[in-house]
Amino acid sequence: MLFFERDIAIDLGTTNTLVYVRGKGVAMREPTVVAVDKTTGKLLKVGEDAQKVLGRTPANIVAIHPIVSGVISDYDMTTRMLQELLSRVTSFSFFKPRVVVCVPSSITGVEERAVIDATIEAGARKVYLLEKSVATSTGAGIDISKPDGHLVVDIGGGTTEVAVVSMGGVVECESIKTAGDEFDDAVVRYIRRKHNVLIGMRTAEELKMGIGCAYIKPDIETREVKGRDLLTGLPKAVTVNSNDMLEALSEPIEKILETVHIVLERTPPELVADISVNGIVMSGGGSLLWGLDRMVTSRTGIEAVVVDDTLACAAYGAGKLLRELGSMQDGMINLARRKQMK
């Protein structure tokens, strides 16, 4: 590898995008948001700067989330966002970098092509796609090269992916659009239904992170939340407790548990036996919901463990695999569609 060349791993998520630079670690964590002037089409802000202006801008400036449910929904904005992020970490490099991008296991061929083209257009020399569950397993310290089954539950912002990983590849997987954002929606609907008060998504997220739970808490916690009374149109404050949050979040949590069951039912018996010993690895911001690991354990009978750095686990895993770009096996990385880039 040439001295000035850099290998980069990108965890392109619905809510956050992380950039890992070989030899440096995670160099950037930015919200997956861009602010654009509708009139001129000019890209104004990216990431944290764009998120800060949400809801506080003139009508001609809009915030766009270019990644929805783990895949590209706005190709042009994704390209421009990646171009900005890559330029920040390769500003002193004379060579275009090789880039590994984490993608959902359920990604289609068309969606794969969109990610590859967008990353090439943003300034990459070669692009490799890595299944996020494989990256998460590696980031969690699992030796994925062994014929040993591991179950990964990754709860991101837009999608929850449940996958069984063995011998460097994904054996079974299921992806659903029930994740962190759906948790927030469920809280908004619950407050509206029970108190006739409308709250914003950011308030719902703060409630979820503060007193949200998937399991009954030993001590009931309460929070005062402010919103708009739907009858009078005036501001109104209501008190919400952790038991309310348990009820509010029960539906999306149940969907995630059902998905775990579906994947386990489809998994070969030998690998299920491995998983019962190895346990379930949980990652992603949604896995931080209080008691969710206990709920998964109680419903499956298999111990669930939340990784140390849930938000960056996949990025660290992809970063570790940068050392093996020349020797990655099929299933861990799909090279079939990228021969023209060699």
Please report which confidence band the pLDDT of residue 334 belongs to, taking 50, 70 and 90 as the band edges.
very low
pLDDT for 272 beyond 60? yes
Other beta carbons within 10 angstroms of residue 21's beta carbon come to 18
Rounded Cα distance between 208 and 242, Å, is 9
pTM metric for this prediction:
0.87
- pLDDT tens for residues 17-27? 999 998 889 99
pLDDT for 139 beyond 70? yes
pLDDT for 331 beyond 50? no
Please report which confidence band the pLDDT of residue 232 belongs to, taking 50, 70 and 90 as the band edges.
very high
Q: Which residues pair with 150 in a beta bridge?
A: 165
Q: 37 CB contacts (<8 Å, ≥6 apart)?
A: 44, 60, 61
Residue with tokens 């060699």: 342
Please report which confidence band the pLDDT of residue 332 belongs to, taking 50, 70 and 90 as the band edges.
very low
pLDDT, average across residues 55-79: 84
Q: Could you give the residue ranges of the DSSP H alpha helices within the chain?
A: 48-52, 75-89, 109-122, 132-139, 180-195, 201-211, 242-266, 269-278, 292-300, 313-321
pLDDT, average across residues 174-198: 95
Helix (H) or strand (E) holding 103: strand 98-103
Highest mean pLDDT pick, 102-116, 161-175, 246-260: 246-260
pLDDT at residue number 167: 87
Cα separations (Å) of 276 from 132, 192, 302?
Answer: 22, 41, 5
Q: 51 CB contacts (<8 Å, ≥6 apart)?
A: 31, 33, 63
Q: Regarding beta strands 71-72 and 67-68, do their DSSP bridges make them parallel or antiparallel, or are they unpaired?
A: antiparallel
pLDDT at residue number 339: 33
User: If DSSP codes are grouped into helix, strand and coil, which group holds residue 245?
Assistant: helix
* DSSP structural state of residue 329: P
pLDDT, average across residues 91-117: 84
Please report which confidence band the pLDDT of residue 149 belongs to, taking 50, 70 and 90 as the band edges.
very high
* DSSP structural state of residue 209: H
Q: Is the dihedral of CA 303, 308, 312, 316 positive or negative?
A: negative
pLDDT, average across residues 28-52: 87
Cα-based angle 143, 98, 159 (whole degrees, multiple of 5): 60
Contact 151, 174 (CB under 8 A): no
CA dihedral 152, 156, 158, 163 (to 10 degrees): -10
